[in-house]
Chains A and B, each alone.
Chain A
Amino acid sequence: MNILTILLRIEWLKAAKRRIFWVAIGAFGLFTVIRAVIGIYMASTIPDVDFTLPERWPDILGAVSGFGPLFTAILMILLFAPEFSWRTARQNIIDGLSKEQFFTGKVILLAGLVLLFMAVAVLVGVSSTMFSPGESGSAIFRPNDLSYMGGIALGMLIYGSFGLVLSTYLRSSGSALGVLFLYIIVEGIIPLLTLRIGSRTLRDAMEFLPFKVVENLGDNLAYYPAELLEMNPMRPELDLVPLGSPDIGIHVIVALAYIVVLLGLSLLNLRKRDL
């Protein structure tokens, strides 16, 4: 067997027996279902609104972009960090994995979680439209639905890499979760502080803080310009500034850079510390 397949199998054996793994997948599915139920309910009560695919992907995926990344980070920490207190990380190496292979296993786990969450979202989306009124379009996905899914997946990978790096450095799920939430709060506060300083470049830079990048990548307006065109003409009448949308291209590059840096830091730490 190929080494990547073996690593995947090992991570699967570890995760599949954890109750928290199934609870997290279930909760993720439930949240997505709730969003779909709201959509179906609105479609059945408001005339002119249908709950059909592919038209309603922005709503379903929009919900996933909200809680998906945080879910990924938390689950990553819960699955990975205890390996240090159980000393199974140590035993895996003693049993014959190299540190690099052990780390690769965790990256595979992260990618697997993201794929799994996406699969759940698609499954919920597709099955829920069967219960809703209205004709579905001919194709299930349009190109921008797929790009949106890619953007959300990138966001999940950033959060997940964050969870991975915190797990390797702190080696305890409690402190890793603590620092994760602390950082989320801090990242929320920093831009407010820079507002007072008022440097424009600084404020622009705030758009590229890690979790802000995730938020921007999850902004559905960026993927569906038609909606932007539809909404903006009405806004001046309501005394609102026109909506803009983030430039996805540059955000994808920044996101990839974050992922590479986070995973790199994690590997370095794992390599140089005793287990």
Chain B
Amino acid sequence: MDNLSVSTPDTDLQDQASTSVNVIQTLDLTKRYGMRAKKSVLAVDRISFAVKQGQVFGFLGPNGSGKTTTIGMLVGIIMPTGGSFRLFGNSDSRGLNAARARVGATLETPNFYPYMSGRDNLRIVAAIKGVNRSRIEECLALVGLSRRAKHRFKTYSQGMKQRLALAAAMLNDPELIVLDEPSNGLDPQGIREIRKIIHTLAKRGKTIFLSSHLLVEVERTCSHVAIIRDGRIIKWGPVAEMVGEGNAVLLRSEDIEVLAGAMEAYPDATSVRRTDDGIVVALDSGDLASVTRYLSERGIYLSLLAPHQPSLEEVFIDATGETTDSMTGLAA
């Protein structure tokens, strides 16, 4: 790992603050649950990142990595135990309360009054956000819930609950939309619809901050990503830059095992990984001539040599050294 955006948060944050508007900005934000040292959990550990206006920012991490806790602090229901953050440039409690009027957010599960209909639930949200009743019907239609809006929330399926939460978050046409695992409980069709809604919102200039443990979801929806593990951000930057990073090649030959063994001994190779098509080798330099010479000297002849664009999954594995079994998800 190398030239890429392994962030040095302080300088990054200063840079970004001076160049364009930070919708969200955190500085060493920390949350430790529980007071007694023995039982306490350090859920979020001095994380710093910035989300600029118009970005679709993915907050990617495995279960328990601190995504919900971070969002909880941003929306004001979890007290940070250290560090600070700004929403639309505000950090004092008064300013934050005002800033939250420009935010629509869902957190973890959809939270609604079970005995009330979907529409009546939105009526309460509308009263809190001070928006017109006509907006309720618009949002219901947008998430495809109009037909079931009169039924009680507790009779909804998981996917319908999730849609209602999305409708509630969009009710006041907020500038920033924060979604915690928006595709949880949705079928492929539902996931596609959510993705479409997010794209539409992004096109209208909204800033979107979404957490997910699904690599595919983030790769397909987000322009920027922060990878979080054990409460720490291990990498953040534009998705395109991250997946375009490094000099990786896909190699194939008659005997894959021999090839892999040879490449593991190659001085310039930083990692060697077996895939269905062959092996993917990350190289320190882009000097392919040396690679072919090195192999032919050992009697290995390539049947395929191609540049390899790593997926976000590979970036994640590289950065964390972990498998992604829990995160690949069968998205649409």
Contacts and interface: CB of A to CB of B under 8 A. Distances in A.
Interface in A230-275: 272, 274-275
Nearest to A90: B77
A94 interface: yes
A196 interface: no
Interface string B128-161: 1110000000000000000000000000000000
Contacts of B107: 90-91, 94
Contacts of B130: 1, 6
Contact of A86 (B106, B112, B125): B112
A88 to B, nearest CB: 5
A34 interface: no
B109 A95 contact: no
Contact of A91 (B112, B114, B116): B112
Nearest to A13: B124
Interface residues of B, number: 30
Nearest to B93: A98
A96 B101 contact: yes
Contact of B128 (A18, A19, A95, A275): A95
Contacts of A96: 97, 100-101, 128-129, 172
Contact of A92 (B97, B115, B128): B128
A14 B127 contact: no
Interface string A172-209: 00000000000000000000000000000000000000
Contact of B129 (A95, A272, A274): A95
A92 B125 CA distance: 7
B111 A88 contact: yes
Contacts, number: 68
B111 A90 contact: yes
Given A18-B115, A94-B107, A10 B127 contact: yes
Contacts of A274: 72, 77-79
A13 B111 contact: no
Interface in B106-126: 106-109, 111-116, 120, 123-125
B307 interface: no
Contact of A93 (B76, B114, B120): B76
A142 interface: no
Contacts of B226: none
A86 B121 CA distance: 13
Contact of B124 (A10, A90, A93): A10
Nearest to B31: A274
B174 to A, nearest CB: 10
B75 interface: yes
A17 B113 contact: yes
B168 interface: yes
Contacts of B111: 86-88, 90-91
A88 B101 contact: no
A93 B127 contact: no
B113 A97 contact: no
Contacts of B101: 96
Contacts of A97: 128
A43 to B, nearest CB: 43
Contact of A88 (B108, B113, B172): B113
Nearest to A19: B115
B312 interface: no
B222 interface: no
B32 to A, nearest CB: 12
B263 interface: no
Q: Chain A CB within 10 Å — which of B72, B100, B116, B128 has the most?
A: B128
A85 to B, nearest CB: 10
14 contacts: A6-B127, A10-B124, A10-B128, A13-B123, A13-B127, A14-B124, A86-B112, A87-B109, A94-B75, A94-B106, A95-B128, A96-B97, A272-B79, A275-B77
Interface of B: 72, 75-79, 97, 100-101, 105-109, 111-116, 120, 123-125, 127-130, 168, 172
Task: Report the 5 A-B pairs with minimum CB-CB distance, sorted nearest first.
Answer: A91-B111, A87-B111, A275-B77, A95-B128, A274-B78
Interface of A: 1, 6, 9-10, 13-14, 17-19, 86-88, 90-98, 272, 274-275
